[in-house]
Structure 1
Amino acid sequence: MSLTVTHPHAVDPSTLRRTLGRIPTSVAVVTAAGADGPIGMTVGSLTSVSSDPPLVAFFALATSHTFSQLRSLDQFCINVLAEGQGDVCFGFAARTGAKFEVGQWERCCSDAPRLHGASAWIECTRESVFEAGDHLGMLGRVHHVDYSDHRPLVFHRGTLSRLHPGAARDICSTRLDWWTM
């Protein structure tokens, strides 16, 4: 029996971006205490990796100046933005500007800036940095978490969005623990 290897058609990057834009993602600002002061950047690629050991990851363009600083630091804080924190998202997405003048900041256990009123905070120690196409990923070992009752800000179809108020209710009578199946 002979197997025929087919090569998939090239995927147009703009079509891929529009397609993946249909998947809502969290919006977070990753911060750390840098040698010359606090640093931070907006990410839309936060993902849970493992609960034992507790690991999360995020991704940034390989050419990002802020990521090049973050990747050299041992500890960082992921601030998951709340619905009313779009200005923080845009402030930290910019290449220049006084980023920490937007929002109210305090120091967390690792001395990284922590955003008051965020939806959640995840403090991590850098586990590894790895290549992922035109991006780099950072894997963090979680050592402290906290959350609020503030609804999260999401990115969907190219814009910042809010969850529908009914989304907070349990819409299924059976709890879906699909990650344990």
Structure 2
Amino acid sequence: MPERAVHQVANRQPQAASASGHHALRQAFSSFATGVTVVTVCDTLGRPRGMTANSFTSVSLAPPLILICVATQAPIWPAFAGAPTFAVNVLAAGQRELSQRFARPADDKFAGIGWQHGELGVPLIDGAAAHLECRRVREIEAGDHMILLGEVVHFAHSPAPPLVFHRGAYAALAQ
């Protein structure tokens, strides 16, 4: 009978997931490398709004569904709360500055950058590796966040490599 390989996580330090362990839990979450997106919406006055997010995932191909998570205490939440549509802009490897711009508070994060309104009227950022324009299908309360389920109505993509985030830093994919 062949030997079974047993793999252990190096320096594993089990911890309970508690309110006092937020920092450690955040470090554990950061072990998962993610793509970087800027999720965009138009507010009730029609102004473009956006935020950097890595809490995005595909859910289903039939129907084409994705989900994003938005903190309900975030200043941008009211724009998402009332929006019937939104877009996910998957950032390309060279768009680190955009990721950082949309991660920080600012009055007009779109000032001086290239973008356009998509088919659903949502902001699409120029040069992104992919755009997913979504019609909001459902929202689910989840702790201090709201999960927004969206049906992809229009999309586009390019061969550009994505921007990746891992352990609190940007990373490049080996090609």
Q: Provide TM-score, normalisation by structure 2.
A: 0.84
Q: Corresponding residue for 2:7?
A: none
Question: Are 1:145 and 2:125 matched, yes or no?
Answer: no
C-alpha distance 9-104 of structure 1, shift in aligned 2 (>3 A): closer
After superposition, the C-alpha distances for 1:62-91 in whole angstroms (9 at most, x for unaligned) are 201212211211111110000111111111
Counterpart pick for 2:34 among 25, 28, 45: 25
Per the alignment, in what secondary structure is the counterpart of residue 76 of structure 2?
A: helix
* Offset at residue 120 of structure 1 (A): 0.5
C-alpha distance 134-35 of structure 1, shift in aligned 2 (>3 A): closer
After superposition, the C-alpha distances for 1:95-125 in whole angstroms (9 at most, x for unaligned) are 2242002531111101111111101000000
| Structure 1 moving runs of 4+ over 2 Å | 33-36
Runs (5+) with no aligned partner, structure 1: 1-7, 166-181
Aligned residues: 158
Instruction: Say whether the 8 Å CA contact 1:45–1:59 is kept in structure 2.
Output: yes
Alpha-carbon distance between aligned partners in 1 of 2:59 and 2:106, rounded to the nearest angstrom: 31
Q: Corresponding residue for 1:85?
A: 95
Instruction: Say whether the 8 Å CA contact 1:120–1:145 is kept in structure 2.
Output: yes
Alpha-carbon distance between aligned partners in 1 of 2:78 and 2:171, rounded to the nearest angstrom: 29
Q: Corresponding residue for 1:44?
A: 54
Q: Corresponding residue for 1:113?
A: 123
* Offset at residue 35 of structure 1 (A): 2.7
* Offset at residue 9 of structure 1 (A): 6.5
Runs (5+) with no aligned partner, structure 2: 1-13
* Offset at residue 43 of structure 1 (A): 0.7
RMSD between aligned residues: 1.6
Alpha-carbon distance between aligned partners in 1 of 2:64 and 2:33, rounded to the nearest angstrom: 23
Question: Are 1:98 and 2:104 matched, yes or no?
Answer: no
Identity of matched residues, %: 37
Alpha-carbon distance between aligned partners in 2 of 1:26 and 1:133, rounded to the nearest angstrom: 23
- The amino acid of 2:29's aligned partner reads L
Q: Corresponding residue for 2:16?
A: 10
Q: Corresponding residue for 2:141?
A: 131
Per the alignment, in what secondary structure is the counterpart of residue 99 of structure 1?
A: coil
Instruction: Say whether the 8 Å CA contact 1:130–1:138 is kept in structure 2.
Output: yes
Q: Provide TM-score, normalisation by structure 1.
A: 0.82
After superposition, the C-alpha distances for 1:6-49 in whole angstroms (9 at most, x for unaligned) are xx973222221111111111111111222321111111111011
Alpha-carbon distance between aligned partners in 2 of 1:79 and 1:105, rounded to the nearest angstrom: 11
